[in-house]
């Protein structure tokens, strides 16, 4: 697969009930990231701190779990789970675009290697939202 796969980080703000993952996450950042990746016309997945890799149409219940409070060992184990899931879904050579912070990228960095892109690396949340809004406006 030569089309890049987009990996979008989960967020804390969620619906109070089970829903397709694309709809479950409710933050302004996530909505902008979703709009951006959907305009790309490429496959995308959500990096869930609890479930690992989640397809946008996969129905999941709300949860309260984040990589922010995990130990380095727990994040490493999460990364092993996610790389196994990604290898099964997209293979080991597909280009990857991360729309995710450092804690979500680092456990996957060795597996992703130089085929990974991080277009918003180094930007704060407000800057990321502005970047996403501009990118969506250009594409619309």
Where b means 16+ CB within 10 Å and e means fewer, 10-41 reads bbeebeeeebebbebbeeebbbbbbebbeeee
Tens-place pLDDT, residues 3-43: 899 999 999 999 999 999 999 999 999 999 999 999 999 99
Tens-place pLDDT, residues 68-127: 999 999 999 999 999 999 999 998 899 999 999 999 999 999 999 999 999 999 999 999
Instruction: Please tell me the total count of domains within the chain.
Output: 1
Domain that holds residue 15: 5-139
Token digits for 124? Answer: 């704060």
């Amino acid at each position: 697969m030569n089309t890049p796969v987009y990996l979008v980080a989960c967020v804390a703000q969620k619906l109070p009930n089970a829903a397709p993952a694309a709809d479950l996450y409710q933050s302004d950042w996530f909505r902008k990231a979703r709009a951006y990746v959907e305009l790309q016309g490429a496959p995308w997945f959500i990096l869930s701190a609890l479930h690992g890799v989640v397809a946008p149409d996969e129905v999941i219940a709300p949860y309260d779990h984040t990589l922010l409070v995990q130990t380095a060992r727990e994040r490493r184990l999460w990364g092993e789970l996610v790389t196994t899931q990604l290898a099964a879904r997209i293979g080991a050579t597909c280009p990857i675009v991360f729309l995710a912070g450092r804690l979500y990228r680092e456990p996957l960095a060795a597996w992703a290697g130089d085929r990974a892109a991080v277009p918003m690396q180094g930007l704060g949340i407000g800057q990321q939202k502005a970047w996403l809004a501009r990118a969506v406006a250009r594409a619309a």
